[in-house]
Amino acid sequence: MFPKTLIKLKTVLRNIHDYGCIEELLGWDQQVMMPPKGMEARSRQLGLVAELAHKAMCSDELGDLLKQASEVVVEGSQEAAMVREAQRDRKIALRLPAPLVKKITEVTAEAHVHWVQARNKDDFDVFAPVLKEIVALKREQASALMREETKHPYDTLMDQYEPNATVEWMDPLVERAASVSQKVYEAVQGSKVSGPGIPAGSFDLDGQKVFCGKLLEWIGFDMEAGRLDASVHPFTCAFDPGDVRLTTRYSVDEPFMAFFSTLHEGGHGLYEQGLPKDYVGTPLAQALSLGLHESQSRFWENQIGRRFSFWQYAEPELKKIFPRLPAEVTPENLFFSVNRVEASFLRTESDEVTYNLHIALRYELEKALLTGELEVNDLEDEWNNGMEKLLGIRPKCPREGVLQDIHWSMGLFGYFGTYLLGNLYSAQWAQALENDLEDKSVSRGQENPASSSPPLSKLDQLIQEGDFLSIRDWLRRNIHIHGRRYSADELSRRLIGSLDSKYFESYIKKKYSRLYNIEV
Amino acid sequence: MFPKTLIKLKTVLRNIHDYGCIEELLGWDQQVMMPPKGMEARSRQLGLVAELAHKAMCSDELGDLLKQASEVVVEGSQEAAMVREAQRDRKIALRLPAPLVKKITEVTAEAHVHWVQARNKDDFDVFAPVLKEIVALKREQASALMREETKHPYDTLMDQYEPNATVEWMDPLVERAASVSQKVYEAVQGSKVSGPGIPAGSFDLDGQKVFCGKLLEWIGFDMEAGRLDASVHPFTCAFDPGDVRLTTRYSVDEPFMAFFSTLHEGGHGLYEQGLPKDYVGTPLAQALSLGLHESQSRFWENQIGRRFSFWQYAEPELKKIFPRLPAEVTPENLFFSVNRVEASFLRTESDEVTYNLHIALRYELEKALLTGELEVNDLEDEWNNGMEKLLGIRPKCPREGVLQDIHWSMGLFGYFGTYLLGNLYSAQWAQALENDLEDKSVSRGQENPASSSPPLSKLDQLIQEGDFLSIRDWLRRNIHIHGRRYSADELSRRLIGSLDSKYFESYIKKKYSRLYNIEV
């Protein structure tokens, strides 16, 4: 009876998973392909599929199967994790009334159009009415998800993206990350180093496409199981480990945008391609959390792609692909160019130092919106005040401010914080990988005692040689393949220890002290 | 109680319609976007949605609603037609066992890959095993759909694409169309006229794209409610009147391919955009039959696009877009070039004269496959023999022969005949439109008695002036807006009379007698 129950359970879960994939495809197509007049039918179809998924998740059949399965699985096994995670998802689904789920899906599908219109007209008032509706639905959702032990309504929303995350846990993390960011940012502003520039027009669009393809090849993204398209806002959609779609954004004026978006989305894509194949269609073969997901993208984008050794490896290839790039451009020039610190109105264009400040702003605003301390009518002002306080710049128009992100139009409240977690985790993984490599190299005696050059970390050695596949495989082995088997905290403890801002702090202080010749 | 029942009924039907749209999107994406490794999950998802649609169509809820509704609708009204057509669809669905529906969807989704591989290797044996499986499923389907009064199993399959079509009705139509095609073809072979050519390389790809956009603009295809992409095999997908997607194929060597594919798919697209909006989501707002659908595409492609007056209008525009087109090219040159008769191995590249022979071949082979008179193992030989008999040419490889069409891999048996019906109907509509225009012009006294030039038909006058929107609106008023309200025969009788090959015959004889200076 044991295997039969599990087979049946997997089938039911796989159908739910497939509804999710279909929803994802409907959404991807909406953003990348759909003509404007297709919107009405598309919203309806998204609502229909969300309802099916929700119904299936709440079905008694699934409840019974999970109960039976939980009694027979071996503790600590993958199956046990699968059952546990499915139970978690079902519990959340059971707390949400079906009409609310459908309503949220429909309203947020339509909200996209209003958000786009508001941006085109650069007028927050065009978006505000539908945003009010969304905030009201999110408050309703939070109150449906509240339990006796819940301390803050925002916890319920964060928990959907980052299991077990609470305001109590997040507040100090956000505070500390923001504070170190501000400290480094102030020091940079006082620095006299301005660094070299790369001449405008060095990177033609055709070459950018070629180089982005190269980047995905280097990091081992399987193009037979994915694609790379262009879109205004780069994103990743995964329908299956066999169909993972990335987008990037090409611009002659901001050439590095395309490269780093590709590395970033490529990092997300590798995670999806690396999930445990045998459990596809079950919660076990899903990403552990959005913070973990973001840690993969930020890892490739920043920990690898913004490293000096990366540009040592990339520079010759770059010169092959871009003949207009001046011959005297060095890896040092490139390294500085991709790490330049500059306050930006836009989160997506901000550097590693100021990025966390953008998140801190959204995190505080969302909490206030949810509790009712802040209303949508005052949001634009509060945004601008916050920017001024945190970064010393005030947006001149809503497109540069409150309208810049798509997330709220999609109903993604409780989501932004995971970007910050991603930054923290990615620094932690880089350290864990370095530790692993140093351990191995010592035990295998691979040191070269004859060399007199300054010691280069084993990780930098790998990168200089372009051996990105070893890095991917380390991530695959230690993170991707586990899916949702462990909690984020367990996974992190297996590698290096619970989440701790210190890795990010020391990383960012060290890097920018060197780049800007500052002391922090 | 009356309107409530109808509202409920429309909701249930709309969900079924939405499942169909989702299936359509999954299929479009598979052909245009999906990476190869996405296939496994995609087949599963297609099967899942097909099962949902089938279940909903067979549900007692729908049965009860239809019964209640049929008792209250007013005879002859749109509602009555909606109920009647939904009942028809449900009856067919009820005869098909759910596992068979799911199996067919899954097998045909996977078959695509085998068909592509077989074409790449130019080896029928790669495709034969899965085709055998499909033929077996189709035989099973036909026997599930058989009723006491059914005279030929093939009737059951044709009926799904062309309601009420039977072998008894089709056989003489196919025979007569093939016979007139052969007669004209033989006469053309004896003609000494070879006509002028257009220099190779006159039409660059960028210009082709611009001109295709122009064509869609001319005929009034709404680009806010659709798109035009490129694909190896042009096709149309409609998810909603607000989202109709066309593809075409660009080739420097065969420039007219892109133009006529665009007009062809544009004709399909106009039909979909013109369906009755108030009934979207019900069977009433669906295309009447595939023969009718094809009559729309062939109408724009051949009856309009391959007409002399069309090239009188298009020639100046063409010269603007393609500066390499020699100045001495005339509308006459273009008219001949786009109507050149040449036996081709490929159906999609064949001219109007020989096209029906390609259909006749497939029609006979399918009938024989279904009854078991022919087995898949002998199909390649029989195909080649048939081509030799009908067109006097023998394919040298399966890619030029039995592997050329995608249809069988998709399980579309009983479908090809509708292409021939489309040819016949399109000639019939052109005559009906001419009759209408002449009637109106007489009654409105628009003749110009002072003119001494040879009489030009009113239709040619419209086309010469580029007034394609009047033509589109005639189709919209007389065909599109009715959806499935009337049967094909009723619709045709309202316009000009029951389907009769004579319109096609006289059209093709007249046109090619003039072009090739022959008597037929």
pLDDT in tens, A339-372: 999 999 999 889 999 999 999 999 999 999 999 9
- Taking residue A439's Cβ as centre, other Cβ atoms within 10 Å add up to 11
Please compute the mean of the pLDDT values over residues A193-219 and round it to a whole number: 91
How buried is B512 (Cβ within 10 angstroms: 0-12 exposed, 13-18 middle, 19+ buried)? buried
B chain contacts of residue A41, beta-carbon cutoff 8 Å: 18, 21, 239-240, 242-243, 280
Q: Are A86 and A282 in contact (CB under 8 A)?
A: yes
Share of chain B above pLDDT 70, in %: 97
Catalytic residue among A23, A133, A162, A265: A265
Judge whether residue B300 has pLDDT over 90: yes
CA-CA distance, A74 to B250, in Å (whole number)? 59
CA-CA distance, A89 to A10, in Å (whole number)? 14
Judge whether residue B174 has pLDDT over 70: yes
| Confidence band for A117, pLDDT divided at 50, 70 and 90 | very high
Q: Cβ of B22 and A52 within 8 Å?
A: no
Judge whether residue A1 has pLDDT over 50: no
User: For residue A296, which of A276, A270, A335, A332 has the smallest C-alpha distance?
Assistant: A270
Mean of per-residue pLDDT scores for chain B: 93
CA-CA distance, A45 to A26, in Å (whole number)? 8
B chain contacts of residue A225, beta-carbon cutoff 8 Å: 35-38
Please compute the mean of the pLDDT values over residues A202-221 and round it to a whole number: 96
Q: Are B390 and B201 in contact (CB under 8 A)?
A: no
Report domain extents, chain B.
Answer: 2-123, 205-337
Please compute the mean of the pLDDT values over residues B253-275 and round it to a whole number: 95
Q: What is the pLDDT of residues A490-518, one digit of tens each?
A: 999 999 999 999 999 999 999 999 999 99
Choice between A448 and A475, residue whose per-residue pLDDT is larger: A475
Mean of per-residue pLDDT scores for chain A: 93
Share of chain A above pLDDT 90, in %: 86
Residue type at position B339: N
Choice between A105 and A212, residue whose per-residue pLDDT is larger: A212
| Confidence band for B1, pLDDT divided at 50, 70 and 90 | very low
| Confidence band for A196, pLDDT divided at 50, 70 and 90 | confident
pLDDT number for residue B448:
54
Q: What is the pLDDT of residues A4-31, one digit of tens each?
A: 899 999 999 999 999 999 999 998 898 8
Beta strands in B3-92 (DSSP E): none
CA-CA distance, B116 to A73, in Å (whole number)? 43
Q: What is the pLDDT of residues B207-242, one digit of tens each?
A: 999 999 999 999 999 999 999 998 878 999 998 899
Please compute the mean of the pLDDT values over residues B413-435 and round it to a whole number: 98
- Taking residue B398's Cβ as centre, other Cβ atoms within 10 Å add up to 23
Exposure on the CB side of residue A161, measured as CA atoms within 13 A: 22
Which of A18, A35, A243 is closest, CB to CB, to B35?
A: A243
| Confidence band for B450, pLDDT divided at 50, 70 and 90 | low
User: For residue B309, which of B465, B473, B455, B423 has the smallest C-alpha distance?
Assistant: B465
DSSP code at position B487: -
Q: What is the pLDDT of residues B3-35, one digit of tens each?
A: 789 999 999 999 999 999 999 999 889 888 999
Q: Cβ of A227 and B33 within 8 Å?
A: yes
CA-CA distance, B427 to A464, in Å (whole number)? 69
Please compute the mean of the pLDDT values over residues A435-442 and round it to a whole number: 85
Share of chain B above pLDDT 90, in %: 86
Q: Which residues of B are catalytic?
A: 265
Judge whether residue A446 has pLDDT over 80: no
Which of A19, A25, A34 is closest, CB to CB, to B243?
A: A34
Q: Match domain A2-145 to its CATH number in 1.10.150, 1.10.3470, 2.60.40, 1.20.58.
A: 1.20.58
Judge whether residue B451 has pLDDT over 70: no
pLDDT number for residue A148:
94
- Phi then psi dihedrals of residue A243, to 5 deg: -150, 85
CA-CA distance, A263 to A269, in Å (whole number)? 9
Which of A21, A45, A224 is closest, CB to CB, to B21?
A: A45
Cα distances (Å, whole numbers) of residue B429 to A506, B220, B297: 77, 18, 12
pLDDT number for residue A445:
47
| Confidence band for B106, pLDDT divided at 50, 70 and 90 | confident
Please compute the mean of the pLDDT values over residues A439-467 and round it to a whole number: 74
Q: Which sign, positive or negative, has the C-alpha torsion A207, A209, A211, A214? A: negative
CA distance A193 to chain B (A): 46
How buried is A192 (Cβ within 10 angstroms: 0-12 exposed, 13-18 middle, 19+ buried)? exposed
Q: What is the pLDDT of residues A65-113, one digit of tens each?
A: 999 999 999 999 999 999 999 999 999 999 999 899 889 988 998 898 8
